[in-house]
Chain A
Amino acid sequence: MSTVIEQIEQQIAQLSNKAVKKNTGHILTVADGVAKLDGLSDVMYNEMVQFPGGAIGIALNLEEDEVGCVILGDVSNLKEGDEVQTTGKLLSVPVGKALLGRVVDALGRPVDGKGPIDSKEFYPVEKIAPGIIVRKSVSQPLFTGIMAIDSMIPIGRGQRELIIGDRGTGKTTICIDTIINQGRINKVGLASGDKNFRPVYSIYVAIGQKQSNIVRTISALEAAGALEFTVIVAAPAADNPANQYIAPYSGASIGEWFMENGMDALIVYDDLSKHAVAYRQISLILKRPSGREAYPGDVFYLHSRLLERAARLDGKGSLTALPIVETLAGDVSAYIPTNIISITDGQIFLETDLFNQGIRPAVSVGLSVSRVGSSAQIKATKQVGGKLKGELAQFRELAAFAQFGSDLDAKTKAQLDRGSRIVELFKQPQLNPIAIELQVSVLWALQKEYFSSVEVKQVVGAAASLRDYLATRKDALLTKIRTKAALDAALDAELKTACDEWKGTFAAK
């Protein structure tokens, strides 16, 4: 027993004599959440720096005789001459399933008042994106629940699809709908007991958003039962620019944990325009040379290194990114939009005019594209919606042409008639994603001319009626479409019977 005590005493003696080396410096200036420091001769790029009062900074500018550092936290108590020290650590955030259903700040600290997060693992905020060898091409669909997108601009797991448009055109709504749809699919999939089912976990990163909007989003997700599969990273407009700059990287780290542990995740960056503005503010205060629109030279790298972290990994999971960019007066050729368009694997462009005409979601078919294409679609969607994009584009062209003359031949009139029905069919209320099997059924009905006899203005109601009919009375058929993911002769026949029955009830009304 005495030897054990001696061992402990030795340990204590070792501890008490051990000198700890710290690398220190002093604050020269503090302004707008950015500090200039002297000393810190051993500081590394992106290293966490400890400020007095528990505030943390990140070393971003390593100059010959001073260090530029953004401060994450309260800067009101910091003053010139205060001692700071390096930590030897990179900024890290908690990751794991414990974060699901929680709202955290840019550093992964809970801000929802639901108590501490029991997370064992931490991931660095800045991480090098997966390389070429470990990646796999995108081939699995990620259903948004929005008919216009799932049928014409499909998104795959591991893809980066930009959502772009002016303010108030429904960009956030598309992303929230997608998150809600993942929650709905997860619930159905997990309840089915299918061992091959892969749930999609969502991360919503709010950058520079109004607090009231974030609260509204949380409420919408909670009401739809999707919050339990979602992590919300909030860096609202009231947060300092350093937090807004870090937040998307923190969100990416949280998403990477799911990806690297064999799960699928979806991350929404809402929005990267405000992220670029926050970074511009930091860069200007750090006196970095400014370029076009006063953005620093590395603003492309700012977003490319973030979006490259979204991938589908071979033998592991995937991280799908939906970055949002706000345009001014529909100008997609501005600096940040063009940068992000070139980084992502496609974009969904939302038009103000369409939105104001009541076409919601206001997806511009001509300007929207998914570079992954039909490889991220199930066969059933390809079978029923393969030609829709072309038809709709042709309709828009004809509609513009038809404005100049009234004498149109029968074929053109038929095309215009069909096009206007497709437009009506794609109208969808917000926070109401449609299951893929229902989308396939409705598009099948469109293909088989079930909506031809319906007045154009009544197509929205007719489609909703068909969906209700199928959902309430033809559950077995919908399950078959969902599980088979392709339409064969037998399913065609069943769909025909179901649609004929529905047509009878709809016509009788």
Chain B
Amino acid sequence: MRGDKKTKLLAKQLFKLSLVNGEVSAAQVAGVLGYIEKIQPRQTLALLKLYHRAIAAEVAKSRALIEHAGPIGDSALKLVESAMTQKYHRAVTASAQRNDALFAGLRVRVGSDVYESTVAGQLAALAASL
């Protein structure tokens, strides 16, 4: 469901209220959800969806999702974490997820950026260039 202008504006305001020092605060989010539940604004579902999308996009910016095919150690995770923290000038936490379709290598996703260093990615690039 797509909200109207007022709903979009409200979602944006609620999103801004959910940030503390530029990062999403769990306490603030809980407060916002409580507020929505209490006042039941127009187009609640649309509002919640828009709010969810904004929060998810913001949270994704502080998360490095590392997809890997082979084993990955804690040191590698720490290495990626520090590299991304330095690159994006914000605290980035890394989490690992196994993906055998990659064959080998790593794929790191931070927000809408993807760092591809996998065999599957290279094969796809090769196929596209042919």
Q: What residues make up the interface of A, taking CB atoms closer than 8 Å to B? A: 16-25, 38-42, 65, 85
Contacts and interface: CB of A to CB of B under 8 A. Distances in A.
Contacts of B112: 23-25, 39-42
B3 interface: no
B113 A22 contact: yes
B117 A18 contact: yes
Contact of A19 (B109, B111, B117): B117
Contact of B113 (A18, A23, A38): A23
A481 B115 CA distance: 69
Nearest to B121: A20
Contacts of A42: 112-113
A167 to B, nearest CB: 39
Contacts of A16: 122
A377 to B, nearest CB: 52
B57 A21 contact: no
Looking at B108, B109, B113, the one whose CB has the most chain A CB atoms below 10 A away is B113
A18 B105 CA distance: 11
CB-CB nearest 9 A-B residue pairs: A39-B112, A19-B117, A22-B114, A19-B115, A41-B112, A20-B116, A24-B114, A24-B112, A21-B115
B119 to A, nearest CB: 8
B93 to A, nearest CB: 19
B39 interface: no
Given A19-B115, A19-B116, 12 more contacts: A17-B117, A19-B106, A20-B116, A20-B121, A21-B115, A22-B116, A24-B109, A39-B57, A39-B112, A40-B112, A42-B112, A65-B57
Contacts of B53: 38, 65
B57 A20 contact: no
A38 B116 contact: no
22 contacts: A19-B115, A19-B116, A19-B117, A20-B116, A20-B117, A20-B121, A21-B113, A21-B114, A21-B116, A22-B113, A22-B114, A22-B115, A22-B116, A23-B113, A23-B114, A24-B109, A24-B113, A38-B53, A38-B57, A40-B112, A42-B112, A65-B54
Nearest to B15: A65
A42 B88 CA distance: 14
Contacts of A17: 117
A64 B34 CA distance: 26
Contacts of A38: 53, 57
B52 to A, nearest CB: 12
Query: What range describes how many residues of B lie at the interface?
Result: 10 to 19
Contacts of B111: 39, 41
Interface of B: 53-54, 57, 106, 108-109, 111-117, 121-122, 125
B69 to A, nearest CB: 14
Contacts of B106: 19
A153 to B, nearest CB: 50
Contacts of B108: 19
Nearest to B104: A16
Nearest to A21: B115
A21 B53 CA distance: 23
Contacts of B115: 19-22
Nearest to A37: B112
Contacts of B54: 65
A19 B54 CA distance: 28
A413 B57 CA distance: 83
A20 B113 contact: no
Nearest to A22: B114
A193 B123 CA distance: 53
A24 B57 CA distance: 12
A24 B109 CA distance: 9
Looking at A17, A20, A25, A39, the one whose CB has the most chain B CB atoms below 10 A away is A20
A42 B121 CA distance: 20
A499 B91 CA distance: 93
B126 to A, nearest CB: 11
A21 B111 CA distance: 12
Looking at B109, B115, B116, B121, the one whose CB has the most chain A CB atoms below 10 A away is B116
B3 to A, nearest CB: 12
A65 B50 CA distance: 10
A17 B115 CA distance: 12
A40 B114 CA distance: 11
A25 B116 CA distance: 15
Contacts of A20: 115-117, 121, 125
Contacts of B121: 20
Looking at A17, A25, A42, A65, the one whose CB has the most chain B CB atoms below 10 A away is A65
A42 B117 CA distance: 20
B5 to A, nearest CB: 11
Contacts of A41: 111-113
Contacts of B57: 38-39, 65
Contacts of A85: 114
Nearest to B107: A19
Contacts of B109: 24
Contacts of B122: 16
B84 to A, nearest CB: 12
Looking at B53, B112, B114, B115, the one whose CB has the most chain A CB atoms below 10 A away is B112
Contacts of B125: 20
A65 to B, nearest CB: 7
A400 B112 CA distance: 71
Nearest to B60: A39
A334 B117 CA distance: 56
A38 B49 CA distance: 13
A24 B116 CA distance: 12
A195 to B, nearest CB: 43
Contacts of A22: 113-116
Nearest to B111: A41
A426 B109 CA distance: 70
